[in-house]
Amino acid sequence: MTNPDRISRDPDDVIVLVESGNFIEQGFVIKKITLRLFVERNDAKLGNYSLITSLVETDRGEVEMIYDEGFRGEDALGRAAGFLMNNLGLSSIILRSVITLQSKN
């Protein structure tokens, strides 16, 4: 996260995408993948400004990255989760997270 203050509070909503704890990618055990919603503000015309992050927890650390943000309308988190689950988006999130964790070592 380039600005960790944006996620320094409890999220407004969370959806767990994976919680098996036995998926392995490049030697990392993927324990849990969640999408987290932070509503940052509300506009009378546009609605909520949503920050959606992905949080990937592994046996060697966790990574939280911005997945999407903007005025995304109602059920922004549910629609983002549906898109990820139906369009190979999980692999992208997992690979980005593993690359980030590898670069820290």
User: pLDDT of 71-81, one tens digit each?
Assistant: 999 999 999 99
Higher pLDDT, 46 or 104: 46
| Mean pLDDT in residue range 32-61 | 96
Write down the pLDDT at residue 23: 84
Torsion sign, CA atoms 91, 92, 95, 101:
negative
| 46-71 CB burial, b ≥16 within 10 A, e <16 | eebbbbbbbbbbbeeeebbeebbeee
pTM: 0.90
Query: Using one digit for the tens of pLDDT, what is the confidence trace for 76-99?
Result: 999 999 999 888 788 899 999 999
73 residue type, one letter: G
Q: Does the structure show a pLDDT above 90 at 33?
A: yes
User: Domain extents for the chain?
Assistant: 4-104
